[in-house]
Structure 1
C-alpha cells in the first residue's frame, strides 16, 4: 500500500498506532490525506492521542482487576511493598493471558467473555469494607496518574486532531479496538517500570509533547514552595495534618445503615497558606464544563 503524503508524517506513537491498524483502516487514512481533506500531521497527532488513551484505559482496567483480585492485601496491615509488587506481577500475567484469549477467540461469545474479564468492572465486596482503625492505609503507588508523563497525557493539538478525524467519518471505536492490544502491552510495561518489575518492553516518551499544551496540566508547587526544603516542609506538615485528623475521627451518626464519621480538624496544625480560590463566573463555569466534555469525548470505551 502506498502511503504517499501520510508516510512522511508518521512517527513515534503515531507510527506505532498506524502499524496496529488493519489494511482497510490504513488505506482510509492514506486516502483522506491524499484527498486533501486532512493533513498527514493531523492523522499522526490523532493516532498518537488514541494510543495514549488506549494506555490510560488499560491502566485503569488493570487497577480495577488488581484491586478486585487482591482486595485482601488492603485489609492486612502486614502487607509489604514486595507483596504489592508480587500482586501486580500476577495481575499483569493474568491480563496478558486474557488478551491472548481475546486475540485468538473464534466466536463472539468468547470475545465478549475475554473482553468483559479484561474490563474488570465487577467490584469485590471486600473493597467496601470499613478500614477505620487501621494504623496503615495501604495503597500501591504505581497506578497514580502522572500528568507530566508524555506517554499518557495528550496535548490539545492531539485532541483536536482526533476530533478532526472523527468529523470526517473515521470510526474511532474501530481504531480503539485495533489499538487495544498495544495499549495493554504498553500499560503493562509502564506499570512494571514504576514497580521495578522486569520488562523487555520500553515505551518511549512523546518527543512532540509540550506541557504548555497538555490536555490536563500537571500539579504545580504551591506558592512559596519552590525549593526542595519548602516542599519537604509542606509534605511533613500535610502528613502530620492528615495523621492528626485521622486520630481525631469520631462517630457522628448513621446514614442509610452506614456509620458516618466526622473528622475534627486540629487547630494547631494548618496547611501552608494557599491562594484563595477566585469566585467562578458563569463564563468560567461554562468553559470548565466544555473542557470536561472535550476530554470525556476522547475517552476510550473499554
Structure 2
C-alpha cells in the first residue's frame, strides 16, 4: 500500500509550513506529498493567506529529493490548458520526474467569486475538463518535430510546436477522481493513470472502483492498468487523550472521525486501511489538517507499516 500525505494549505499555511511537512514525509518514507489546489479557506480565518499550488510544488521540486509531488486536484477552471501543460512539465523537469497531476472540473463557487474566476454550469465545467485532458495529454505526447493541433470548442489549438516535454516518458501521470457515475469514470478510463475516491465509506469506495473497472472494459482498457486510490482524513492517537487532542486541533469530533475517516488507535487505522485494500485501493492519501503536528505523521507511518 502506497501511503501519501495530502494537505489543505488554503486553511492557513506558509511555504515553510508545507516544506516542513514534505520533508518530514520524505524522511519518514511516505511515497508522496500532495496538496489541494484552492485559494479560499473552507473554515477558519485562512491566515496567513493563500498559496498557489503549482508555485508551491515548483519550490518543493527543488527542496526535496525523493518524494513524489502533486495536486489533488487542480481545478480546470483555474488555468488555461496550454499554459498548465507547460507549467506541470516544467515542475516535472525541476523535480527530476516526480510530479503527478490531479485534474478536476472545479466545484467551489464561492472561491471562484472571491478571486474573479468564471464558474460555468456543471455540464460546461465537465466539457472543459474533458477537453483539457485531451489537450494536455496530446501536447505532452505529440511526436517530436511535429505541430500539435486540437480542434476543440473551448480551447482550439493550431500550429503549436511539439516542444512541451515532461521528464517522465509519455507525460506526467494524470489522476481523475470523484463520485460521478457517468462522465468521471469515463474520463478516468480514457486519460488517467489513477482513479481516486475521496472521503467515502469502504463500501462506496468498492462500488466506485467496480464502476470504473467496468467502464475501462467498455473502452477496451485493461482495468488493471488503472491505479485505484482513496483519500481519507487522518487522525491517529496511541491513546484516547492523544486522539482527542488531535481531533480538537482540527475542529472535529472523535466519533465522527472514527465513522468517516482513518481515525482511532493504530490498530483501528490499520484495520480500515486493510478494508480499503480489500476494496481495491493500492494507494491511500492521508489528509493531514494540522500541519504543525509532525509527530502525527510519524505516528501514522509507524501504525500503517507495523
Higher relative contact order (CA 8 A, sep 6+): 1
TM bracket (short chain):
under 0.3
* Structure of greater Rg: 1
Q: When the two structures are superposed, what TM-score results if normalisation uses the length of structure 1? A: 0.19
TM-score normalised by structure 2 residue count: 0.18
Could you say which structure has the higher strand fraction? 2
Q: Which protein is richer in helix relative to its size?
A: 1
